[in-house]
Structure 1
């Protein structure tokens, strides 16, 4: 038995995104959930978590950003997708699709990494009741730690430029950083993380609508102490971009929850299901 319905999200510019809708099982609880993925991560990565949420009574929509997974149409080297597009076009279209499916007034966004970092450029931010950012941060290279602090400059300044030049896309898969990326995504990722502020680096240059000041919905950010990307400094920097929102920072120490690691990715894994009720507790408004 399939626990989800495959569907397409139609964006304002006509681009179509592949999505999976999980209807609430039993009585619908609270607002529906939109899962916004991390850079280069496909919707299938979140399947077990989305399925669990639906069992708890939430309607859930997960999707692939343009240029990623089944939302890549044609050759990757020909994709013009950018991180700007993800925030300005993809997320708002996903919000509208979920509202249409559920007839709800608002959604709750569970954003993983980049998926929780773009609400400030989302033009229909008023339809978002709350944001729960999982490993959401500015990703600023100076705030990184561990081997990622060494790997990031190599990826941003050598691997991505060379692979974009030679292959026409940002080679991320071979270094374990998700799917290979459209060249504009790879370029912006490097630009956004090289300076403080992440997407704020595009405001006034390639993005001319900025809603960070207007956003007043609650924003909760989960970070694991062994996360080398969403470090405490980088998470706090992201939350600081929303001066008028009620923000909350929740620290997760792996050993306290019976895990050796949580890091940047494992919170959504079935192996880490003990963390899911902790995340769900933040969905209550």
Structure 2
């Protein structure tokens, strides 16, 4: 088992914005390098145990805070004009370039959590990624959700987000246990995309004019959990359909099969879910 060096770094985006990131470096030869794309409003520390596990198995890893989130928030959040689209077009590409610089001459992989997998088609350097392993990555389409969850999902997206933005100048998503506070334009775009079909596809031709959803063709694995009320099978299929040439395998996990009480939308990356991490290791080792 590799010893792991953990280093906090800053990454400079194409527009000079600075992102807070953490690099995990194995002490032996690197088998590959992994960009962990975070879910909406989730700080990089949430993925630390998982990143260490990957590095112990020989993978260089970088986790990061998207601009406007955690230590990548510059100034007051109500003054932050960042969008979801910007995360895919500027933040993720910059982190991938840092990954290539830190771990040269190897294969590069994306492990995407929710938005971290959805946004890959916006990356101008996405073709440098050899494979994609996504968890809880779906379109989040509200109309597909089961009735038992649909009301609360509609309330958050269509009542709480606009009301919070109006009153506070940003979305206080942390009040509802939905990660960090969100810049208002991130939340507005999230609301718009989840009310449509195909998530980011909603913005094709309006705010998104150039993308790679039509031509990405690296192998991909899409894992979701049976008890996830957001990334249900219908919404995973909806997101996969946006990628016109992407070979996609899918797998749905059932918590009790692994001695777990729940997996849901978030807990794949928790220390208690370590038995599930072998799926990621096996995928990376084979690609």
> Hey, what's the Cα distance between the residues in 1 that align with 2:149 and 2:38?
20
Where in structure 1 do 4 or more consecutive aligned residues deviate above 6 Å? none
> Hey, what's the Cα distance between the residues in 2 that align with 1:132 and 1:2?
22
* Partner residue, 2:260: 259
How far residue 166 of structure 1 moved from its aligned partner, in angstroms, is 1.2
Task: Look up the SS of the partner of 2:59 in the other structure.
Answer: coil
After superposition, the Cα gap between the structure-2 partners of 1:147 and 1:13, relative to the gap in structure 1 and judged at 3 Å, is: farther
Give the 5 Å matches for 1:158-177. Answer: 158-177=159-178
* Partner residue, 2:97: 96
Task: Look up the SS of the partner of 2:130 in the other structure.
Answer: strand
Give the 5 Å matches for 1:88-167. Answer: 88-104=89-105, 106-145=107-146, 147-167=148-168
How far residue 142 of structure 1 moved from its aligned partner, in angstroms, is 1.4
Give the TM-score normalised by the residue count of structure 2.
0.96
After superposition, the Cα gap between the structure-2 partners of 1:265 and 1:211, relative to the gap in structure 1 and judged at 3 Å, is: same
* Partner residue, 2:66: 65
Q: Which runs of 5+ in 1 are unaligned?
A: none
Query: Do the aligned partners of 2:198 and 2:241 also contact (CA within 8 Å) in 1?
Result: no
Task: Look up the SS of the partner of 1:85 in the other structure.
Answer: helix
Deviations 1:180-210 (A, max 9, x none): 1000000000000001110111111111102
Residue 221 (structure 1) aligned with residue 218 (structure 2): no
Supply the RMSD in Å over aligned alpha carbons. Answer: 1.4
> Hey, what's the Cα distance between the residues in 2 that align with 1:79 and 1:106?
34
How far residue 153 of structure 1 moved from its aligned partner, in angstroms, is 1.0
> Hey, what's the Cα distance between the residues in 2 that align with 1:242 and 1:83?
18
Residue 19 (structure 1) aligned with residue 21 (structure 2): yes
* Partner residue, 1:4: 6
How far residue 147 of structure 1 moved from its aligned partner, in angstroms, is 4.9
> Hey, what's the Cα distance between the residues in 2 that align with 1:178 and 1:147?
22
> Hey, what's the Cα distance between the residues in 2 that align with 1:25 and 1:250?
32
Query: Do the aligned partners of 1:36 and 1:91 also contact (CA within 8 Å) in 2?
Result: yes
* Partner residue, 1:192: 193
